[in-house]
Structure 1
Amino acid sequence: MRGRFVFINRKYSFMLDKTNLQFEKIFSGFNLLVVILDETEKIEYANPFFLELTGYSFDEIKGKSWFELFIQDEKNNEIRNAFQRIIVENHPLQYISQIKMNDGNLLTVKWNNSLIEDEAGSHHKVLCIGEDITHHMNNETSLKRQLTELAILHGITLSATTSQSLDELISEATKLLTSVFSLSNYGIYLADADKHTLIMHDSYQGIPNNNINDRVIPSDEGILGYVFQSGKSYYCKDVLKDKRYISFDSKTKSELTIPIKLHNETIGVINAESEELDSFSPEDEKLLTTFAETLSTAIDKIKLFESTQQQAKEISLLYEIAIATSSILDSEKLFTTIYEKIKNILPLDTFVIVKNIKQNNEYFVVSAIENDKKLIEWEGAQFQIDQNSLFGWVIQHQKPLLVRDLGNEQSLSNPIHGEKPTRSWLGVPLNIRDKTIGAISVQAFDPNIFDNGHLHLMESLGSQIAISMENARLLEQTQNQLERLSALHDIDLVINSSLDLRVTLNILLDQVVEKLKVDAAAVLLLNQQTQLLNYAAGRGFRTRTIESYRLRLGEGISGQATMERHLVQALNLFEADESMAYLPLLQEEGFLSFYSVPLIAKGQVKGVLDIFNRKLLTPDQEWIYFLETLAGQAAIAIDNTTLLENLQRSNIELSLAYDTTLEGWTRALDLRDQETEGHTQRVVEMTVRMAQLLGIPDKDLIHIRRGALLHDIGKMGIPDSILLKPGPLTNEEWVIMRKHPVFAFNLLNPIAHLKPAIDIPYCHHEWWNGSGYPRQLKGQEIPLAARIFSVVDVWDALTSDRPYRKAWNAKKTLDYIENQKDNQFDPQIVDLFMKLIKNELFKKL
């Protein structure tokens, strides 16, 4: 072709100064496009073949600028520069370009341009001879497009085989788009499960990463929404002239959007945007449509694969939870295990289980975990069951609830979350035999995390978890009952064995705190005289503030419980009246729940048992019953102790009265017998002191004391003529006098209360050598008390003035007692007595 052009140039160069008629004769028979341009780029000549192909008449183009009329704007400068090089350098130029025809279509031409000049060489023109290669180029373009389509089909098919998830598939598909188009931004949007929104995939190109999360649009807005709703492709040549267009990128000039359909249902769109006006051709639209159709098939396969995997995971999860929960009967461990299993299959951030308190129309949190961290502050929290709370709705309707985006929900609230608010929420009821015992929820910080598949899985888990929770509850109930019975038994033992009320109350409070699982407990006793409740014992308090509390009847919850004679509770002390008794203590200790039970025994209020907890308490009826039973035990213990104390007081008073009576008898005998004043009291005190030093038990000292008091009680049977005789007694009179120990025995032995005290009155005149009276007992045969008393009695008698003689001094008396050792007295008793006297121990008495 090039040789042909050169030939023409040589052959007709001498004729270039002729008229267009001459050009017509030369070029009219050519099936080539011939155009001659002058130095100013204006058209001087065009042959008929050119005019026929382009659809112009010569008059329409004569004198017009070639570049403004036929060359596309984006190619204008490039071809004009080439044109100028021909004129300046006189160098022929070959190239391929497209020219615009009269109907707006493009003609692809292979040009050979040469410089021609007139005979004088003063005027330069450019001869442009071109061959129409549009059909050839179209065939080539078609082939390339077919190869591209095949590459796309192969690429997506391969991605469907190798991708492990829908996300991975979409990312690979976006990369394929990159290899086909040169665009400013492009990618794929997928609809959410409810088809309310279109969500830009993370692989979308041309949008900054920090804006990706914001690129969620309603599925009925903009060009994307139109395509999604209609299921038809849409091409916008100029976005500024299209009211449907929603601007995301100010540089965008044109947009092409293709629906992605799966089983005749639109599931998303492919969006392509260009910074050039009218940038997309029908072939581009066809190519993207083929891309979308192939992608939908791949998505179908991936979804089937993911569905199969999900089902396998769900079956495995159900099996694992069934195995795990069947052997776990501890509630706290059960909840943790369920969370660990669920988080491996569900994209959750927060996990919450609540229980229903039907009688109060409330529910409370039993477990709350967020990203492996327990939300301690929520455990035990109570909420009213109502339509405005998510858990309340689930429990009330006994149905599952899926909220894809709480940000769009104004009527439902979710108070239970950690530092970040919840956006996605899925909850199911825990039902057993048509009874809802609670609910379980999974929550996420981002919207649109959970779908209907997750909901069905949670429903299946809900039934299983409810059974496990009920089994754990029944076991805990049985264990609690056994522990409580054991506790009651232990308390009974303490009540029956301990005489110390403080010990009994401390043991009882230990059982209260442990078995009721509360933080602290206290018993306040009612003073019947002052009508005040006074602190008696406590457990679990961090400070000693409660020990100073004195409450009037009717004052505060404790006073109210005492006055009304029934349990009074304050479940949430944050809501308590500021004037309430105990408020400073409650604030100081951080208590949140408070129970007060009156202690009533035999119809009389003995005090009050107060229970404190630093978390909200949600007790069942059995807990309340056990609390009241413990209060009954406490009341019995207090009543028994009170009765015992009263009895002991009466015994002491009776004993004092008895001893006072005995002392009166003794003084009467002293007066009758003309004994030295105070003799009896002195010998009593000395004898008891000696007995203590010899290690005689305290329980026997009272009998020794009484025996010493009554040592001469038998003299009541001696006639005054003998007892008060100023001179020596005759033998006959001594026989009678020596009978007074027997008279004492006969007097005291029938009296059970005084029988243990009989040793001294009966035996204090027996001698160690056996020569005493009345029974001539010898050595160890003589009771110890009598042996002690005989030494003390002689000491006091000899060192005291008598009507018939003056008192001996201590030395003379001690010499006498020493001489009577092994004769009248027990030598060991005498030795001990001597040491004591010499150490002046008795002088302190």
Structure 2
Amino acid sequence: MPAGAIQEVTKALSNEAGIYLLYTLLVTGLTSIFISGSLIGPIRQLQKLVVSFQQGQLDESIDIRTGDEIEDVAASFTQLARELTQTQRNLEGSITERARDLEQRAFQMQIAAQIAQDTAAARDLEELLGRTVNMIRERFSFYYVGIFLIDDNNEYSVLRAATGEAGKAQLQRGYRLKVGDVGIVTYVASTGDMRIVNDVEFDFVYRREALLPLTRSEAAMPLRIETNVIGVVDVQSTQVNAFSEGDVASLQILADQIAVAIQNARLDGELDSRLKEINLLYQRYTSDSWSRQLSGERTMGYQYDMSQVVSIQQQLPLAQLTKDGAQSMILPDGEDGGKKSALVAPLKMYDQVIGAIGVESDEPEHQWTPEETALLEAVSNQVALALDNARLLEETQRRAEQLRLLQDITSAAASHIEVGDLLDDIAKRIRAGYNIPYCRIVLFDADGRHGTVMGSAFAPYAPVATKVGTKIPLIESDIAATVINTKKSRVVNDVQHNPRMAGMHEDLSVRGVNSMALVPLILRGEVIGTIGLDSADPAWNLRNEDLQLLSQISLQTANAVDIARSFERAAQRAGREKMLTDITSRMRETLDVETVLQTAVNEIYRSFNLDNVSCYLVPNLPGDPELAAAGLPDASQSESKEA
């Protein structure tokens, strides 16, 4: 083929190849553009959806229909968005409900705190319970609220406070429920566990009350102090399922606070009662103490006459001092029969008038200024306090002296083992301790008809003393018989004219005794003797604390007598045993029968201090006993031997 032809063919093929190449490139470009558009669009839509999710727009959705994996991914994203949206809505609902519950709980707690604060201010139990039930009903909008308290025998739950007309009617009839019977309140009272009934129509424990026909649900909470159930709070509503968990929790907290408030009110009431009793007892004690202070004497009074302090006999009209504070009054002037003006203020201790203090003016018409009145009242308070302090000091000193006397007698009782020495020492200590002329201690004989003076003490100025060993008959009509029968101390005044002491009038007159006290000595329930205290004062008396002290002294003395007697019996037994041992020893020193018998009667004669002792031997043959030995005084013995 010619070269030109070849070139032509080559050129033509090159042109054709270029056309095909250009076509191919065009088709490829168009195809690429189409494919890029079909892939990039959905991906960009997915990208926008993800950005929306990131911004919290979960309600966005896309519709991609590519028929491939991109469509599946888009569908998954859409489903996820729906689920997230539903979850978000559920969470928002839960949060809203929870917030509502918390708000309700906070409101209930606030109400409970307010009720607790209001009830804590009440000190009277009835006021506390009444305020509590009314506040619970008003704040929680309940149908009925009642508080039951268990009685001291744990037998009944007694309604003490309730709301409404029904509650008033129940209280008027003394409504109470027996612990352990069927019923919500009685169940809680017996078990100590709360009980919630959301529909009373389907509860077998519920006990219908005719006065509360609208009750549909009921809750009862125990009132507990530690482990003890003291009562029940009963709450009723007209709605079914009226008590939520929050209501129950709030009511239980409130019940615990009410229980504490009730306990505090009870303790406060008991404390007030104890304080009143103590105050009353102290007033009586103060009155008795001042009465004893002034007994047997005229009212003590002193007056300052601008030069010196002198005692006075004029008594102020204390009966007129019935009001608090100083009062002006007109008093008679003893010197010239005139009148004078006086300002008198009572001396009071614990609301009791113990005296009066006053100032006088020679002018009957003198008007006392408020300043003078206030000054006198202030002085009267200080004087009353000082007088009471002096009285207390005197009583304290007297009590110390009494305790010292008891201690001395206890010490004396422990230092003697011989009854006579013991009782003589105790009698001296009692006489000195009570500053009386005579004191004697008598022990009764075994026959009960006589008594023997075993201890006696008398003052140097006493006319005649009762000697130790003196026998005193116990006459049935005597005061001693009364002491023996009652086993109680007796104080007798003006004994020389007392018919019951007729058998002793002569002795009492000689000794100058006008009053006496007898204190029984009691040992193992039996009266073994008496302690007698004699005084020359016809009005002499003993205080209660003196009699109590003497009772303690008599107890110590009786025990000491028992111990001393035991020592004496032991000493006597030891002496007899020693004597028998000595006699036996001497008798064994010889084998001669006559010498043995003579030694025996001589030792018996000397040991027992007898008038004579004889020993006879019975012969083997019938006849009179043979005198084997005799113990006689020396002269008689020699005469007997000679005979």
TM-score category of the 2 structures, normalised to the smaller one = 0.3 to 0.5
Q: Looking at both structures, which has the greater relative contact order when contacts are Cα pairs under 8 Å and sequence separation is at least 6? A: 2
Structure-2-length-normalised TM-score: 0.38
Structure-1-length-normalised TM-score: 0.30
